[in-house]
Amino acid sequence: MGGPGIKQCPCASELSIGPALRPYRKPINGDFVTLQPIKPEHAGDLYDVVGGSEQERVSLWNFMPVGPFITRQEFESYIEQCAESFDPVFFTVLDSVSGKAVGYISLMRIDAPNRVIEVGHVMFSKLLQRTRGATECFYLLARLVFEELGYRRYEWKCNNLNEPSKRAAQRLGFTFEGLFRQHMIVKGKNRDTAWFSVLDSEWPAMKQAFEAWLDHKNFDEQGNQRHALADLRL
């Protein structure tokens, strides 16, 4: 309750009534990638780039709640479960040139009444990491979340030991909110969870930066960026 001379927080004002929409399964097309609702038939291409016993692929699963998947059969079984899941809702990342699956990503912890949703289960193969397509994945999902589904808050959470994930969240424009200590036990190990978010009020500036960064004019003939994504948000 606010007393005399105390400004009421804007979040206390009355909000429009009604829940956000739940993510629906339809392709989301970009210039570099297409996000396709995950299907069992994607398992073969995905296994070829994120499965098996090669050390660089095994390391991809260090901070994931599942995996690594050494055999094709166990990975196919997992992808079948992903295809049937309603929370998380999984999307396969298809390279727009080759048409091959190069990773997957999901929307999860879907709280439609409060209009809060999280991006997670991000599994990008080496073919996708540090590419324009990787950044475009996050742009396409954020645009879906805020502009089509009507969410107010978009979250990113990761193991606090996962430095690449934390750097990625901040590069993309998520705000660090704090650390949840001893939040989870994952694969028999403690996980302190770092929390990040983007609000709907922050999306317009974030969108403008994404689109300026992804524009072909932002890259030279060698494919090097002219302006960093973070600089375009200033």
β-sheet with 153-159: strand ranges across: 28-29, 33-37, 89-95, 101-111, 116-124, 153-159, 189-199, 175-186
Distance of CA 97 to the CA centre of its chain: 22
Structure tokens at 62: 């260090």
For residue 61, is pLDDT > 80? yes
| Alpha-carbon span 194 to 185, nearest angstrom | 14
β-strand partners of 185:
190
Per-residue pLDDT tens over the stretch 141-168: 999 999 999 999 999 999 999 999 999 9
For residue 6, is pLDDT > 80? no
For residue 121, is pLDDT > 60? yes
Percent of the chain with pLDDT over 70: 93
Place of tokens 């209009």: 115
Q: What is the DSSP letter of 46?
A: H
| Alpha-carbon span 195 to 175, nearest angstrom | 8
For residue 221, is pLDDT > 60? yes
| Alpha-carbon span 110 to 124, nearest angstrom | 22
Domain residues of the chain, as ranges? 18-232
Q: What is the pLDDT of residue 234?
A: 78
Per-residue pLDDT tens over the stretch 86-110: 999 999 999 999 999 999 999 999 9
Q: What is the pLDDT of residue 12?
A: 46
Beta-sheet pairing, 116-124 with 153-159: parallel
Q: Summarize the confidence of residues 125-151 as an average pLDDT.
A: 98
Q: What is the DSSP letter of 65?
A: S
Per-residue pLDDT tens over the stretch 181-216: 999 999 999 999 999 999 999 999 999 999 999 999
Q: Summarize the confidence of residues 62-80 as an average pLDDT.
A: 97
**C-beta of residue 102 within 8 angstroms of C-beta of residue 112:** no
| Alpha-carbon span 92 to 144, nearest angstrom | 15
What fold, for 18-232?
Aminopeptidase (3.40.630)
Q: What is the mean pLDDT of the chain?
A: 94
Q: Summarize the confidence of residues 27-46 as an average pLDDT.
A: 98
